């Protein structure tokens, strides 16, 4: 079988490891940028009541009309823009690639950046090109970006705003220069929009090649797997052609529509996370040897003393706290760890554990 697998499977797939998610049972989970807050019991009961209308024997609404309306209202999506829904924003990144992929076509993003731009580009047979961020503060290297765009003529450019895994938000004027220089689509990925005050949503339409990608994952609905792409309707009409039928299941449609009717709850939760981010940053700043990077997202990237990231990660895990070790993920992330902002008591436990192990 091995020989047949090796002759059949594309070499670039053979060379990969499957996407790995750390086992988190019994641990304080500060590794995956989730919202740690639950729902009040009364809301849970109301939600379960809403699910009673679901007919699992029927396919879901293929156009997700109720959910589209709820999203438009809750997220203040401009009326003249189209919306396309995906099974997480990951699926929309995949649909974008499938829409434009041809041999030799390029996807361009920054390094270090969100890993799925590269992975999905590769799955679709596109070439991935990355431009390093500035080493000291992870800001955009605009001349290098413009030079790479000119040289590579990428079909897709991804800019996460704020960026994962670094947490900073790029300069908006630099982003505009990139949008204006790019020959293809520029997708501003606003996965962390709930944790910053800046967005390109209101600028949609100013450039014909700008799309904004969003998700409900970080605001507190990661389990539903729902992302949305917003932009000029003619683009979305083309991308919609590669969407699998019924890609957003009925439980997600009903649950997300319900949740969006209670958006103030999620706004309050994400606001608490923003406040906690400040407290956590202060607490971490008091630990000798850690270098912190300012964040506009719901996580903080930090650099440990040289060679210690692995031991710190293991030490925290022994104390039942799971964070993300990025050491080895990319040369610019040497000795780096990423912590998601959790509940105040989770953050306090993590800070205490860090002090103990560092």
Residues engaged in binding ligand PMP (CB under 6 A): 33, 88-90, 114, 160, 164, 189, 191, 215, 217, 222, 227
Q: Are 168 and 112 in contact (CB under 8 A)?
A: no
Residue 202 Cβ, how far from ligand PMP at the closest point, in Å? Answer: 20
H or E element at residue 13:
helix 11-14
Residue written as token pair 């000029």: 232
Q: Are 67 and 85 in contact (CB under 8 A)?
A: yes
Closest CB to ligand PMP among residues 32, 144:
32
Residue 272 DSSP class: H
Q: In Å, how far are 42, 52, 133 from 48, measured between CA atoms?
A: 10, 7, 46
Closest CB to ligand PMP among residues 194, 227:
227
Write a three-state SS string for 43-59.
Answer: HHHHHHHHHCCCCCCCC
Closest CB to ligand PMP among residues 60, 88:
88
Q: Which residues of 263-284 are buried (b: 16+ CB within 10 A; e: fewer)?
A: eeebeebbebbbebbeebbebb
Distance between CA atoms of residues 33 and 26, nearest Å: 17
Closest CB to ligand PMP among residues 120, 236:
120
Residue 222 Cβ, how far from ligand PMP at the closest point, in Å? Answer: 6
Residue 90 Cβ, how far from ligand PMP at the closest point, in Å? Answer: 4
Closest CB to ligand PMP among residues 339, 353:
339
Residue 40 Cβ, how far from ligand PMP at the closest point, in Å? Answer: 24
Residue 93 Cβ, how far from ligand PMP at the closest point, in Å? Answer: 7
């Amino acid at each position: 079988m091995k020989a047949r697998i090796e002759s059949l499977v594309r070499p670039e797939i053979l060379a990969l490891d499957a996407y790995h998610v750390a086992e988190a049972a019994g641990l304080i989970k500060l590794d995956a940028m989730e919202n740690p807050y639950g729902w009040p019991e009364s809301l849970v009961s109301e939600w379960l009541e809403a699910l009673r209308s679901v007919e699992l024997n029927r396919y879901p609404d293929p156009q997700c009309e109720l959910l589209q309306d709820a999203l438009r209202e809750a997220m203040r999506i401009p009326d003249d823009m189209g919306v396309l829904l995906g099974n997480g924003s990951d699926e929309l990144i995949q649909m974008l690639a499938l829409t434009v992929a041809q041999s030799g076509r390029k996807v361009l993003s920054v390094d270090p950046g969100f890993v799925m731009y590269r992975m999905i580009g590769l799955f679709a047979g596109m070439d991935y090109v990355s431009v390093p961020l500035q080493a000291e503060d992870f800001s955009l290297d605009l001349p290098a970006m413009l030079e790479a765009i000119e040289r590579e003529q990428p079909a897709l450019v991804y800019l996460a705003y704020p960026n994962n895994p670094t947490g900073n938000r790029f300069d908006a004027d630099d982003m505009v220069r990139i949008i204006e220089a790019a020959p293809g689509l520029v997708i501003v990925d606003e996965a962390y929009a709930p944790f910053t005050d800046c967005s390109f949503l209101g600028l949609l339409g100013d450039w014909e090649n700008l799309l904004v990608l969003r998700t409900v994952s970080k605001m507190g609905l990661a389990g539903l797997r729902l992302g949305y792409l917003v932009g000029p309707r003619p683009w979305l009409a083309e991308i919609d052609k590669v969407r699998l039928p019924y890609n957003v299941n009925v439980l997600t449609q009903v649950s997300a529509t319900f949740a969006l009717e209670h958006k103030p709850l999620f706004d309050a939760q994400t606001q608490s996370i923003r406040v906690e981010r400040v407290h956590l940053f202060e607490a971490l700043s008091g630990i000798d040897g850690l270098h912190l990077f300012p964040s506009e997202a719901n996580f903080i990237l930090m650099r440990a003393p040289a060679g210690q990231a692995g031991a710190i990660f293991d030490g925290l895990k022994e104390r039942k706290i799971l964070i993300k070790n990025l050491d080895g993920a990319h040369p610019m992330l040497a000795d780096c760890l990423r912590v998601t902002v959790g509940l105040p008591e989770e953050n306090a436990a993590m800070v205490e554990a860090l002090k103990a192990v560092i």
